[in-house]
Structure 1
């Protein structure tokens, strides 16, 4: 691959959430602050939502890694569970033993006993559910009933829900209004702007071991913003492909042309507008030029320089 070419130890733009690469985007930092404040104050339900690829699972894992010893955590990564399956999953995470033939009342009693033990040890139990939009309605109601367990002054279990915007639509249903009223803190993750993308890709390359000259310039990051709409996951995909293209050409810097090619090859990416000068050409010659650009990667350096300037001007015009 391109590791040696760019002087890095590992691939910097993988899709697996890795807290070692956590950058601390303003939106991510604010979400962590909201979660920390809500958990410290003992609130019952906390909700974090964001579009696909905005970093919810990464924040979820970072929260799990950074919970201090005063919290006992239970983590449900795949919540497409029936009410009985959800209770069993929560019990398992809290190290509660359940009998095979136990009913709902027995489950609730044993979970409550465990939560009381946790409280007596001066700790708090927190249930963290990722992809919460997948929770069936009846399981959401079962979850609400589980959180009814409380002392005179505090809930025995707090719940953090991470989900896509569909989670907001789900809990807006009239039959789930009781749960909606119990969500005291919520936060919606935002996409990145151009400057944040610039800092983000530099950070990931640095963590991967890069120490050479700049690979992604600000004009290139403007192109990344257009093609990704600021979604971190799509930025990762495009950046990885752009590095492959740069490596294939033997260059140590990524250009707007590389981002254009990467965007054409990515389902989730958006098209980058064509340079205006293409519209001045007669239709036949424009089509021939585009076909040539799509089939040839090794363009002479003087042509590449001219194209780089033209696309940069176009990106500035679009912004």
Structure 2
């Protein structure tokens, strides 16, 4: 909706990581430097960590896009809490190998054959593990064992481990990961962006979809955006997407501090409602009218934020229709069961 209103060629702040929108902030630039250094070494583990929403997945996607597919073959795995055998299965599948019904020994053999064949063909194999903090120690040890595959003095596999901050303590202090620690050749923790970088980030993403300063953002708007997001990319995407949607609905062409404040109020109000134990639309009214949620936005005579009253009325109507439908089905079932019971007698 807002893309059409502002004449944009796409959505600049979608939440799905997209390497096309990679922004080279100082912290991401350092991370890319470590990744590039790791590639030049051709062995061991490179570890990148960062808070939720810091842009780790976009960074990895950007790296993959930069690789020459004639020189590299890469597998990317987004982990859940996988066991040791499961991680080997995921690695095999990530490299396009058939892992169905194969035990650990066969999987290891197939992976080794694949790595040696690629080395013979002049291609290096890279393994990128995203959300690595989910892996148990035994699964990490299996990854470390894969790093033992060599051809002469050259490692056949290099791994990049990307995860949340808790993984820093795990790999640094877990006594069972001593051998993995000895193979870590570089590590970097992604920081939040500065105010200046936050502003550049917003303008960078807008420019990529044909932004022509419509809407315009004044200094107060950028200050408020930074204050709320603290320079975390995912928070920025969420807030800025809502700002553009709000601007399109209200037909606003200049985003100022008050517009951003109004959007933030809406978001905080929605979060407050979402975290309350609500059983019905009526209880939402009670929560808002009773002071459970405060808002600086316009409200109706009933005390509800403008527009929410109508949505709640609609929701109550659907609930009533749903209840009536269930009652009708139960009545039909009761009659049907009664007829069957009479027939059985």
**TM-score, normalising length: structure 2:** 0.74
Deviation readout 1:114-134 (Å, 9 max, x if unpaired): 211111112211111111111
Residue equivalent to 1:33: 33
How far apart are residue 151 of structure 1 and its match?
A: 2.8
Residue equivalent to 2:7: 7
Residue equivalent to 1:73: 74
For residues 221 and 212 of structure 1, the distance between their equivalents in structure 2, rounded to whole angstroms, comes to: 14
Does structure 2 conserve the Cα–Cα contact (< 8 Å) formed by 1:79 and 1:86?
Answer: no
Does structure 1 conserve the Cα–Cα contact (< 8 Å) formed by 2:215 and 2:252?
Answer: no
Evaluate the alpha carbon distance shift between residue 33 and residue 133 of structure 1 in structure 2; reply closer, same or farther with a 3 A threshold. same
Evaluate the alpha carbon distance shift between residue 143 and residue 250 of structure 1 in structure 2; reply closer, same or farther with a 3 A threshold. same
Q: Secondary structure at the match of 1:244?
A: helix
Deviation readout 1:264-284 (Å, 9 max, x if unpaired): 333699xxxxxxxxxxxxxxx
Alignment of 1:105-254 (within 5 A): 105-171=105-171, 172-212=173-213, 215-254=216-255
Give 1 or 2 for the bigger CA radius of gyration: 2
For residues 264 and 208 of structure 2, the distance between their equivalents in structure 1, rounded to whole angstroms, comes to: 25
Q: Secondary structure at the match of 2:15?
A: coil
Evaluate the alpha carbon distance shift between residue 292 and residue 59 of structure 1 in structure 2; reply closer, same or farther with a 3 A threshold. closer
Does structure 1 conserve the Cα–Cα contact (< 8 Å) formed by 2:130 and 2:161?
Answer: yes
Does structure 2 conserve the Cα–Cα contact (< 8 Å) formed by 1:47 and 1:186?
Answer: yes
Does structure 1 conserve the Cα–Cα contact (< 8 Å) formed by 2:215 and 2:255?
Answer: no
Alignment of 1:93-112 (within 5 A): 93-98=94-99, 100-102=101-103, 104-112=104-112
For residues 72 and 186 of structure 2, the distance between their equivalents in structure 1, rounded to whole angstroms, comes to: 18
For residues 229 and 164 of structure 1, the distance between their equivalents in structure 2, rounded to whole angstroms, comes to: 18
Deviation readout 1:43-87 (Å, 9 max, x if unpaired): 310011110001011111111222112111111123432111111
For residues 29 and 48 of structure 1, the distance between their equivalents in structure 2, rounded to whole angstroms, comes to: 12
Unaligned runs of 5+ in 1: 270-290, 297-319
Q: Secondary structure at the match of 2:162?
A: strand
For residues 255 and 140 of structure 1, the distance between their equivalents in structure 2, rounded to whole angstroms, comes to: 49
Evaluate the alpha carbon distance shift between residue 239 and residue 98 of structure 1 in structure 2; reply closer, same or farther with a 3 A threshold. closer
How far apart are residue 36 of structure 1 and its match?
A: 1.6
How far apart are residue 181 of structure 1 and its match?
A: 2.2
Moved more, 148-157 or 53-62: 148-157
For residues 266 and 213 of structure 2, the distance between their equivalents in structure 1, rounded to whole angstroms, comes to: 28
Residue equivalent to 1:56: 56
Residue equivalent to 2:309: none
Residue equivalent to 1:23: 23
Unaligned runs of 5+ in 2: 271-293, 300-345
Moved more, 44-53 or 212-221: 212-221
For residues 129 and 174 of structure 1, the distance between their equivalents in structure 2, rounded to whole angstroms, comes to: 21
How far apart are residue 35 of structure 1 and its match?
A: 0.6
Does structure 2 conserve the Cα–Cα contact (< 8 Å) formed by 1:79 and 1:129?
Answer: no
Residue equivalent to 1:315: none
Q: Secondary structure at the match of 2:75?
A: strand
Residue equivalent to 1:294: 297
How far apart are residue 101 of structure 1 and its match?
A: 4.9
Does structure 1 conserve the Cα–Cα contact (< 8 Å) formed by 2:6 and 2:215?
Answer: no
For residues 13 and 260 of structure 1, the distance between their equivalents in structure 2, rounded to whole angstroms, comes to: 18
Does structure 1 conserve the Cα–Cα contact (< 8 Å) formed by 2:3 and 2:11?
Answer: yes
Runs (4 or more) in structure 1 with deviation over 6 Å come to none
RMSD (Å), alpha carbons: 2.4
